[in-house]
Structure 1
Amino acid sequence: MADKNVKTFQFVIVGGGIAGVTCVEQLSSQIPSADVALITAGPHIKAVANYKQVSRALEEFDVEERPSSVLEEKFPNLTVIHSPVKSLDTESHSLETTDGQVFGYEKLCICSGGRPKLLTQDNPYVLGIRDTDSAQEFQKRLSKARRIVVVGNGGIALELVYEVEGCEVIWAVKDKAIGNTFFDAGAAQFLIPSLEASKPEVAAPCKRPRYTTEDRAAGSLHTFTADRHSRVHDAGPQESGSALGPDWHEGIVLRGAEQVSRRVSVEYHCEVEKIFTSEELLNSPVKSDCGSWPVCILLTNGKTFGCDFVVSATGVVPNTEPFLHGNTFAVADDGGLRVDDHMRTSESDVYAAGDVCTACWEHSPLWQQMRLWTQARQMGWYAGRCMAAHVLSEKIELDFCFELFSHITKFFNYKVVLLGKFNGQGLGSEHELLVRCTKGQEYVKVVLSNGRMVGAVLIGETDLEETFENLILNQMDLTPYGEDLLNPNIDIEDYFD
């Protein structure tokens, strides 16, 4: 790949998603004179907008799709190259794009994201939703659909089943409860009624009420010991282009061909056994009531459903192609490029950030990697800082964002805040849960280990996130407070702040 006419940049970043764009912004801000190249497959990039630091660990932002020219106008030192990467030669420090161009680098950051784990790659009736094009294709197909089957239990599936109207939705989840990536069965039960109710016209704020003694039944309190911890899965499907924003469904009409508002049926604890077209079904021994539907899906629970098309929302795998061939990257068990606490891969001068990488340093007891928007931004920002620090021979410490896992999102029109070991990840049975649930209003769960708060799930406008974040970070012994920690008659914010 070596060529004396190769254009060499000081920094090359691959990927126009949040991790790559944030890395570019950080590098260009720290070293304005640096020669930076962003190699991205599409004409648009994903940028962070309306960023807000909610607390020390929690952050909120929107993700906007913008022309890459916006980035070049902001940073005169930046060159954007529109072409997928064909190959990487770490020995000669060069990349080749699919259009035949070769670019050299002094330091490289791979931010190529993830690609969806589709149920099948070659079935025209199976659709993955990941980027703008696939979302538009989904909208187009949905407009003529009477019934769809959604397979998956991550973020995209959760958003999709709630937003789709005018179409029957069969939702197949492999777990015993919905949203297993993000919360436990109790939170799932709290959210299920939202699927059966009509969608509100406007998102109504729901502030935590002051309870009186008579309200205790409504704001019920429970204490129990966990006997297992939930596994963490991928947050949503992705492929080689830049992923959709967290509010990808806003601004597009997700309406089917029927007059019904919303009709969702959940099939629990099952996976897809086989997908038939109507022609294949005629020659199959499978008995079904698929009728004249264009495609039929057989689940492992023995049920068959005919539908107009199937949405595959079954997670992502790190998009490490085409970087592995001919190189000796250390790869983690989940398929991601292993990175150390400075976001460096095992190859010299090659960094990685976002969904493509796996954090392989010794984690804080209160942090875990999940392939989410917040972590893509944090990793991209930190990778940019590390690359700049190494060039400038500056020392750099692991950023505070890796001290405590924190994530804010929205599901079923409820604000959802996740902190620390929110599902007791890695704690086995050695933890206790406190739960407060007010139907239709809020669900509050805290995870305690040895009397100290190590995680929390907050659904609704609880106003407790900053207080709980402080309690988790301070590791204060909460044993004396017992169940009063979630007593709705005690103003815990004033008590601890």
Structure 2
Amino acid sequence: MAAKREKSFQFVVIGGGIAGVTCVEELFTQVPSADVALVTAGPHIKAVTNFRQVSRTVEEFDVEERPSRVLQEKFPALTVIHSAVKALHARDHSVETEDGGVFGYEKLCICSGGRPKLLIQDNPYVVGIRDTDSAQEFQKRLSKARRIVVVGNGGIALELVYEVEGCEVIWAVKDKAVGNTFFDAGAAQFLIPSLEAAKPQEAALCKRPRYTTEEPGGVQTFTADRNSHKHGGWTNPGSALGPDWHQGIVLRGAEQVTRRVSVEYQCEVEKICTPEELLPSAEQTLKPDTVGSWPVYIQLTNGKAFGCDVIVSAIGVVPNTHPFLPGNSFALAEDGGLQVNDHMLTSEPDVYAAGDVCTACWEASPLWHQMRLWTQARQMGCYAARCMAAGVLSKAVELDFCFELFSHQTRFFNYKVVLLGKFNAQGLGSDHELLVRCTKGREYVKVVLSGGRMVGAVLIGETDLEETFENLILNQMDLTPYGEELLNPNIDIEDYFD
């Protein structure tokens, strides 16, 4: 039974990341007189800034890390509770915090994000990079490193191998191509030369610093809502990295080299060991002079072994549901996320969830799928707030249009990247065809067609095709008559279809 509650609120939101903060902001938009509490362990929250609606579904924004008081100044009725959650008593409609507080709610939204998967727990040479603290720790470790091994093929790994300088990088990926989460082998081949070329100098004039090491009160920039790494265990929530997290942070090793990246394809980690634990079979794959000269060794399933100073675990996240499950009966998805319906409601009454912690379990549009990205954290947080407000105001609310078509805009290897719909032909089997246009060093355009209709696209570079392709995907126009002319660079396709 829960302890005696201190106070009850109309709405309680757990998590100070993108999903949680967006949820709070939208609650006050929907119900200006709302009584809202935000429960967050850290002193900072993540705020969406410079938001721009590029097209109907494509959006662009920055994420700033700010003191929570900035949110309180914007919404004086907001109560911020600085503590981690110890337990949720769903039957009792109350939340218990680590510092002993108990708070009642009418409607609750869990936006606790995800926590990183680590290759191995409590190994001093293995680091996960998911949040502000761990990025700063990695920066310190990297400054003394001659060689690092990056394991993983997602967004953090892609950004990291491109940004690190002054250090040899061994990149171990389990797939046949890099960036498998975001694009196909063709796009990967287009991007790989960027790893071999000198990194272009960023124009400092127009770039706002995206990462600082200021004391609380300074502005920092990151995204979403996951957990922070403290002394080998994941404890107090710290918000995750997001767009351009590496801007303004020096990712330089101890060597004079600019950048030297070697990719090991189709392999996973077999063993991480000290020099003493190195197997004779692994020693045979190392250069004789390197045996015993590194603090840690990594053996891969392709039979190769490498000595290094740091191993970066960038193998994804798992939904951070831990404090909410005991004593409750949440339905969980196969990936461990809290199941939510098309109103962002979990299986527990009056408990909603948004962002990385939840898994969309409604019958999705054939052109949308869930990926744990900062864009979806913002969209889910906003929509969850509208559903919570509708519940209190007894209003109907329809599924947001953003769930009609998957869209995501980001940057990899200094190229603008836009992903639309079934961009990797997800779930289409052999029932699709691809059209590709590639100009080396400038752009890579791929469209996915099914039954003569466009169902997905990958746009790398300044193509300016996102709005046109978005319309073609949403309209489901039969493109059979156009054939390969659809990507003819001599035809102004935007004017043609507008």
The reply to whether TM is greater than 0.5 is yes
Q: Structure 1 CA distance, aligned partners of 2:191 and 2:441?
A: 8
SS of 2:323's partner is coil
Q: 1:302 to 1:395 in 2, by over 3 A?
A: same
Question: What is the one-letter code of the residue matched to 1:37?
Answer: A
Aligned residue runs from structure 1 range 247-262, under 5 A: 247-262=244-259
Which residue is equivalent to 1:81?
A: 81
The separation in 2 between residues aligned to 1:482 and 1:384, in whole angstroms, is 44
Query: 1:237 touches 1:315 (CA, 8 Å); kept in 2?
Result: no
Aligned to 2:283: 287
Distance 1:237 1:111, change over 3 A: closer
Aligned to 2:62: 62
Pairwise CA distance, 1:77: 1.1
Q: Distance in 1 between matches of 2:194 and 2:280?
A: 38
Q: CA deviation at 1:29?
A: 1.8
Alignment match, 2:262: 265
Letter in 1 for 2:385: G
Q: What is the CA–CA distance in structure 1 between the aligned matches of 2:77 and 2:454, rounded to whole Å? A: 46
CA RMSD of aligned residues (A): 1.5
Rounded Cα–Cα distance in structure 1 between residues aligned with 2:97 and 2:6? 12
Q: Matches of 2:33 and 2:477 in 1, distance apart?
A: 47
Q: Is contact 2:447–2:458 with CA below 8 Å preserved after alignment?
A: yes
Instruction: Give how far 1:417 is off.
Output: 0.2
Task: Give distance in 2, aligned partners of 1:321 and 1:89.
Answer: 13
Per the TM alignment, residue 4 of structure 1 is displaced from its structure 2 partner at its CA by 4.6
- 1:280, distance to aligned residue in structure 2 (A): 2.7
The code of the aligned residue for 2:40 comes to T
Relative to structure 1, the CA distance from residue 5 to residue 332 in structure 2 (aligned partners, 3 Å threshold; closer, same or farther) is closer
User: How far did 1:470 drift?
Assistant: 0.4
Once the two structures are superposed, the pairs formed by residues 58-457 of structure 1 within 5 Å of their partners are 58-202=58-202, 240-281=237-278, 286-288=282-284, 289=286, 290-291=290-291, 292-457=293-458
Give CA-to-partner distance per residue, 1:419-464, whole Å, 9 cap, x none.
Answer: 0000000100000000000000000000000000000000000010
2:435 is aligned with what amino acid? L
CA–CA separation in structure 2 for the residues paired with 1:171 and 1:467: 36
| Greater length-normalized contact order (CA 8 Å, ≥ 6 residues apart) | 1
SS of residue in 2 equivalent to 1:422: coil
The structural deviation recorded for 1:241 is 2.2
Partner of 2:29: 29
Which letter maps to 1:488? P
Deviation at 1:278, TM superposition (A): 2.3
1:242 partner letter: S
Distance 2:408 2:203 in 1: 20
CA positional deviation for 1:102 = 1.0
Q: Partners in 2 of 1:454 and 1:238 — Cα distance?
A: 35
Counterpart amino acid of 1:335? G
Runs of 4+ aligned structure 1 residues displaced above 3 Å come to 1-5, 235-240, 283-286
Contact kept in structure 1, 2:46 and 2:64, CA below 8 Å: yes
What does the per-residue CA deviation read over 1:445-497, in whole Å, with 9 as the maximum and x for residues that have no partner? 00000000000000000010000000000000000000000011111011001
Shift of residue 279, structure 1, vs aligned partner: 3.4
How far apart, in 2, do the equivalents of 1:238 and 1:82 lie? 15
Distance 2:105 2:226 in 1: 30
Aligned residue type for 2:259: R
Equivalent residues of 1:58, 1:406 under 8 A apart = yes
Q: Report if aligned partners of 2:17, 2:225 keep a CA contact under 8 Å in 1.
A: no
SS at 2:192's partner residue? helix
Same amino acid, percent of matched pairs: 82
Q: CA deviation at 1:245?
A: 2.4
Shift of 1:33: 1.4
Deviations 1:292-328 (A, max 9, x none): 1000000000100000010000001100011011100
Q: Pairwise mapping of residues 10-29 of structure 1 onto structure 2 (< 5 A)?
A: 10-29=10-29
Equivalences for residues 465-480 of structure 1 within 5 A: 465-480=466-481
Tell me, yes or no, if the aligned pair for 2:112 and 2:226 is still in contact at 8 Å.
no
User: Where does residue 229 of structure 1 map in the other structure?
Assistant: none
Q: Post-superposition shift, 1:285? A: 6.0
Distance in structure 1 (CA, Å) of the matches to 2:259 and 2:120: 27
Pair 1:387–1:321, CA change in 2 (3 A): same
DSSP-derived class of the 1:322 partner: helix
Partner of 1:51: 51
Q: Determine if contact 2:226/2:320 at 8 Å carries over to the other structure.
A: no
CA contact (8 A) 2:367 2:421 kept: yes
Q: How far 1:286 moved relative to its partner?
A: 3.8
Question: Structure 2: how far apart are the matches of 1:426 and 1:52?
Answer: 31
- Asked if 2 retains the 8 angstrom alpha-carbon contact of 1:237 and 1:313, the reply is no
Structure 2: where are the runs of 5+ without partners?
205-223, 229-236
State the secondary structure of the residue aligned to 2:471. Answer: helix
- Label 1:376 to 1:103 Cα distance change in 2 as closer, same or farther (>3 A): same
Match of 1:227 in 2: none
Give the superposition deviation at 1:2.
Answer: 3.9
1:203 CA displacement: 6.5
Q: Partner of 2:283: helix, strand, or coil?
A: coil
CA separation of 1:37 and 1:236: change in aligned 2, threshold 3 A? closer
Tell me the alpha carbon deviations over residues 80-132 of structure 1, each in whole angstroms, 9 at most, x when there is no partner: 11111111110101111111111111110000000001001110100000111
What one-letter code is carried by the residue in structure 1 that aligns with 2:431?
Answer: E
Q: Secondary structure at the match of 2:382?
A: helix
**Which residue identity does 2:41 align to in structure 1?**
A
1:35 deviates by 1.1
* Structure 1 unmatched runs, 5+: 205-234
Distance in 2, matches of 1:295 and 1:162, equals 23
Distance 2:173 2:359 in 1: 26
Q: Name the SS for the 2:444 alignment partner.
A: strand
Q: Which residue of 1 aligns with 2:492?
A: 491
